[in-house]
Amino acid sequence: MTTRELKEKYLKFFEEKRHKIISGSSLIPENDPTALFISAGMHPLVPYLLGQKHPSGDKLVNVQKCIRTTDIEKVGNDTHLTFFEMLGNWGLGSYWKKEAIEMSWEFLIDKKWLGLDKDKISVSCFEGDDEVPKDVKSAKIWQSVGIPKEKIVFLSKDDNFWGPAGKTGPCGPCTEMFYDGVEIWNDVFMEYNKTGEGKYEPLKQKNVDTGMGVERTVAVLNGKKSVFDVEPLKSIVALIKRMATDYDERSARIIADHLRAATFILGDEKGIAPSNLERGYVVRKLIRRAIEFGREIGISKDYAFTIIIAERVIDLMKDDYPELLKNKDFILEQLTQEEEKFNKIDAEAEKIFDDYMKKNGITPMRVVDPRKETYIANPLITKDIATALFKLHSSRGLSMSTIRRLAREKSFVLDEAELEEELEECFKEHVSRSAISAGKFKSGLADNSEQVTKLHTATHLLLAALRKVLGDHVYQKGSNITAERLRLDFSHSEKMTQEQIKKVEDAVNEIITRDLPVNCYEVSLKKAKEIGAMGVFESKYGDKVKVYSIGMSDCPFSCEICAGPHIKKTGELGRFRILKEEASSAGVRRIKAVLE
Ligand code: SER
C-alpha cells in the first residue's frame, strides 16, 4: 500500500462514517505564540476543541503536515521523523470512547479497509494518577471488540496522555494501537484544558482527537521495518546513496528527513526563510545539519546537493502539496544561499587549521580512514585554534560537528573535553569582554557600557513582570538596548491599560528594592527546559546553555537562557520606568523603558 492509498482509504472510511473532510493547515500555527510549528493534526483545531463551532460540523477528518523537532536527535532510526503526515479524525463533542474505538478497530481489521491481522494488534491505555483517573472504560471497550486482556497495557502520563500541543490547551488520556509492536494510531480523549498554572480543568465538550502517522503505518502495512523503506523517503535515501562516496545509512536518513522538512518549511503557504531566530533558526539548523551529514558521507561540495534533494521532494510530493510547486523558486533559492554560506564558513574554518599547520611547520599526514579514528599522532587543538574557531562559531554558526570533521580530516587529535574547555574559556572571555558580540547571540545589545548591562538585566525583569501581569502568552519577540533605554517587543495583542503598566513597573521596582543576586549557571539544554527557563532553545555549542535567574532558586522571578552579560545584584539598577507602550506589529507590543 502506498501513502496515497492509505490517505484515500482513511478519508473515505471516515466520510462513510459521516465525517467531513477538511483541508490541512499551514505548518505555521495561527495565534499560538507558544509553538513554532504545527506538530499534530489537532493543533490547528484547538479553538474548536475548546468549544467554538467548526463551519464543517462536529465530525471531521483530514491529513495534516506536521513538524516535530523535539526528537531531532532520534531521527535516523526506523520510526522518527521531523516532518511527517498525520491522518486524524475528530469528534467535537459528537462522539466519545465507544464510537471512536469501534471505528478505529473496524478500519484496522476490516478487509474492506486495512484488513490487518487481529492477533498482531495490541493496545495501551492510561493508568491514572493524582490528577486524572485510570481509563478503565477504554480498556473495557477494547475487550468488547475482541482484544484479549493480556494485550492491553496500562501506561503512565508519559506514554498515554496527550497534549496540549503548545504549553496550554486541550489534552486528555489516550489509547494507542500497536501493530507488531509498532505504534500506529492514537485515540486521544480530550476532556481537559491545561491552564497556565498547570491545572487540568474539564473542557466544555468532550472531544475525540485521533492521529495516525502516515509513513509509519505504510511501513508496517508493507512489512517494512523502517519509514525510510517506503516512498517517498525510500527514493530520497537512494538518491543520497548515489551521491555519497562514503555511504552511511543513518546519515543518509538524517539528510533525507531534514531536507524534506526544510523543503516543506520553506515551501509552506506562509514560507519561512532561514535566519537566526525561531522558525528561521529551525529551518537553518535542519539545512546545515543535512549539509554537514552530507560532507560526512563524502557528498562533494560541487553538487549543490540540497537543491537536488529538494527538487526530488517537490516532485514526489507536489500532487498532495501544490504549495511546494508554487514556491519552488523560493525553496531552491534559499537552499542555494544556505549551502553557499555553509561552504564559506567551512572554507574559513579549514583555513584556520591550515594556517596553524603552516605557521607551526606541521605537514599534513595521511590518515588511512579518519572515520575509524586511526589517527597518526598529530597536534592537539590548541588555544590559538580554539579562539579562531570560536569566533566563527559564535558569529557565523560554525557547528561543533564541522569542527570535529575538519579536525579529523586534518588528522588533529581531537580531545573533545579539551576542545570544549578551550571553547568554554573563549566563551567566558568573549561574553564579558564584548557585549557587542553578545548581542549577536541573542538580545541586540549595542555597546557594553555599564548602563547597557543594567538595562539588559532590567529587560529580563520586565519580561518576567509582563508575564506575571498579562499572562503566560507573553514571549520576547525582540529586544534592542542602547545606553539610554531598553526596548522590548513581546507577544500580546491588546494595548496595555495604565493600571497594567503601573503593575509591571511596580513588580520590577520591587525586585530592584529587594537587591536580589543575579545568578548565572550553566546547565544542559534539557535541564534548562525542565526548570522552565525562557529563551530560544538553541545551544551555542555542545549541549550546555547559560541560564540567568533572579529570585528564589526553586521558584525564580525571572529565569532565562541568555549569553549575558548582567549585573550582580538588582539593587544596582536604580528605578525602573516605562516611557511608552505601543503596537509593534500584529499581535506584538513594544515597550520602551529607562532606569533612573
Ligand atoms: N494529537 C494526537 C497525536 O498527535 C492524536 O492526534 O498523537
Q: Is residue 422's pLDDT more than 70?
A: no
Residue 89: strand, helix, or coil: strand
- Asked if residue 58 and residue 203 are part of one domain, the reply reads yes
CA atoms of 47 and 170, how far apart (whole Å):
9
Write out pLDDT tens, residues 440-453. Answer: 223 333 345 678 88
pLDDT per residue as tens digits for the range 306-345: 999 999 999 999 999 999 999 999 999 999 999 999 999 9
Give distance in angstroms: CA of 14 to centre of ligand 1.
17
Cα(549)–Cα(534) distance, rounded to whole angstroms? 10
Cα 126 versus chain centre, distance: 26
The grid cell for 371 is 572515520
Between the CA of 252 and the centroid of ligand 1 the distance, in Å, is: 28
- Confidence (pLDDT) at 373: 42
Cell of 109: 481489521
* 27-74 tens-digit pLDDT: 998 767 677 899 999 989 988 998 889 989 999 999 999 999 888 889
- Output DSSP code: residue 472: T
> For the whole model, what pTM was predicted?
0.71
Q: Is the pLDDT of residue 515 over 80?
A: yes
Distance, CA of 484 to CA of 367 (rounded, Å): 56
- 154 and 174 both lie in a single domain: yes
Instruction: Output the nine-digit C-alpha cell for 556.
Output: 525564580
- Return the higher-pLDDT residue of 404 and 108: 108
Say how far apart CA 163 and CA 172 lie, in whole Å: 7
* CATH number of 202's domain: 3.30.930.10
Instruction: Determine the pLDDT at residue 360.
Output: 74
What is the Å distance from ligand 1's center to 318 Cα? 25
Residues 419 and 408 sit within 8 Å (Cβ to Cβ):
no
> What is the DSSP secondary-structure string of 280-343?
HHHHHHHHHHHHHHHHHTT--GGG-HHHHHHHHHHHHHTTT-HHHHHTHHHHHHHHHHHHHHHH
* Mutational pocket test of ligand 1: of 171, 209, 214, 216, the residue with most ligand atoms within 8 Å of the beta carbon: 209
Report the distance separating Cα 441 and Cα 446, nearest Å: 12
Residue type, 125: C
Q: How high is the pLDDT of residue 426?
A: 63
pLDDT > 80? residue 283: yes
pLDDT value at residue 543: 59
Please say which residue of 385, 410, 438 terminates a domain: 438
User: Do residue 215 and residue 323 come from a single domain?
Assistant: no
Of 156 and 431, the one with more pLDDT: 156
The CA–CA distances, whole Å, from 311 to 83, 118, 329 equal 16, 40, 10
Among 70, 210, 217, say which to mutate for ligand 1: greatest number of ligand atoms within 8 Å of CB. Answer: 210
Over residues 547-561, mean pLDDT? 85
Ligand 1 centre distance from Cα of residue 26 (Å): 17
CA of 163 to the centre of ligand 1 (A): 8
Q: 42: CA distance to ligand 1 center in Å?
A: 7
Query: Ligand 1 in contact with 183 (CB < 6 A)?
Result: no
Which atom, in ligand 1's list, is nearest to the CA of 165? 1
Q: Kindly give the distance from the C-alpha atom of residue 360 to the centroid of ligand 1, in angstroms, as a whole number.
A: 58
Take atom 7 of ligand 1 and give the residue whose Cα is closest: 211
Q: Are residue 453 and residue 584 in the same domain, yes or no?
A: yes
Q: How is residue 264 written as a grid cell? A: 516543506
Burial class of residue 381, CB neighbours in 10 A (0-12, 13-18, 19+): buried
Please count the structural domains in the chain.
4
172 in ligand 1 pocket by Cβ < 6 Å?
A: no
Query: Has residue 256 got a pLDDT over 80?
Result: yes
Ligand 1 in contact with 42 (CB < 6 A)? yes
Distance 362 CA to ligand 1 centre (A): 57
Residues 527 and 384 in one domain: no
Ligand 1 contact, 188 CB (< 6 A): yes
Ligand 1 site, residue 209, Cβ cutoff 6 A: yes
Least-confidence region, from 121-135, 335-349, 401-415: 401-415
199-213: pLDDT as tens digits = 899 998 999 999 999
- Compare 384 and 414 and report the one with higher pLDDT: 384
User: CB of 88 closer than 6 A to ligand 1?
Assistant: yes
> Which one-letter DSSP state was computed for residue 534?
B
For residue 167, the model assigns a pLDDT of 76
Indicate whether residue 33 lines ligand 1 (CB < 6 A). Answer: no
On the question of pLDDT at 183 being above 80, the answer is yes
With 90 as the cut, is the pLDDT of residue 520 above it? no
The dihedral region occupied by 448, where left means phi > 0, alpha psi between -120 and 50, and beta the remainder, is: alpha
Pick from 235-244, 390-399, 543-552 the range whose average pLDDT is largest: 235-244
* Strand order from edge to edge, sheet including 544-550: 518-524, 544-550, 558-561
Band of pLDDT at residue 8, cut at 50, 70 and 90? very high
Strand partners, 490: 476, 589
Band of the pLDDT at 585, cuts 50, 70, 90? confident
**Contact between residue 175 and residue 126 where contact means Cβ atoms under 8 Å apart:** yes
What number is the average pLDDT over the span 461-487?
88
Closest CA to 461 of 589, 550, 575: 550
Q: Side chain identity at 438, as an amino acid letter?
A: A
CB of 474 closer than 6 A to ligand 1?
A: no
Last residue of a domain, one of 176, 192, 227: 227
Q: DSSP of 481-504, one letter per residue?
A: E-SS-EEEEEE--SPPPHHHHHHH
Structure confidence at residue 210 (pLDDT): 98
Is residue 207 domain-shared with residue 242, that is, in the same domain? Answer: no
Domain housing 159: 3-227
Which pLDDT does position 540 carry in this prediction?
A: 39
- The CATH number for 548's domain is 3.30.980.10
Q: 267 in ligand 1 pocket by Cβ < 6 Å?
A: no
% of the chain surpassing 90 pLDDT: 62
* Per-residue model confidence as pLDDT tens digits over 349-406: 999 888 887 887 776 554 444 454 433 334 556 667 777 887 887 778 788 788 878 8
Residue 164 Cα distances to 442, 476, 564, angstroms: 28, 21, 32
Asked whether 479 and 489 are in contact (CB, 8 A), the reply is yes
Is any atom of ligand 1 closer than 6 Å to the C-beta of 41?
A: yes
Q: Which of 210, 227, 244 is the endpoint of a domain? A: 227
Residues 463 and 360 in one domain: no
Sign of the CA dihedral running 391, 397, 398, 404: positive
The answer to whether residues 62 and 207 belong to one domain is yes
The answer to whether residues 370 and 339 belong to one domain is: no
Q: Cα–Cα–Cα angle for 60, 61, 64, nearest 5°?
A: 125
As a whole number, the mean pLDDT across the chain is 87
For residues 398 and 318, membership in a common domain is answered with: no
Mean pLDDT for 260-278 is: 91
CA atoms of 101 and 124, how far apart (whole Å): 12
The grid coordinates listed for 497 are 491599560
Q: Is the CB of 211 under 6 A from ligand 1?
A: yes
> At residue 257, does pLDDT exceed 60?
yes
**Residue 313 and residue 278 in one domain:** yes
The pLDDT of residue 14 is above 70: yes
Atom in ligand 1 nearest the alpha carbon of residue 188: 5
The pLDDT value given to residue 423? 63
Give yes or no: residues 169 and 80 share one domain.
yes
**Contact of 40 with 64, CB cutoff 8 Å:** yes
Q: Which of 82-96, 462-476, 519-533, 572-586 has the highest mean pLDDT?
A: 82-96
CA of 350 to the centre of ligand 1 (A): 45
Q: Which range is least confidently modeled, 49-58, 156-165, 198-207, 538-547?
A: 538-547
Strands 59-67 and 20-21: parallel
Quote the ligand 1 centre to 187 CA distance (angstroms). 7
Element (H or E) spanning 376, and its range?
Answer: none
Sign of CA dihedral 552, 596, 489, 568: negative
Sign of torsion, CA 360 365 367 373?
Answer: negative
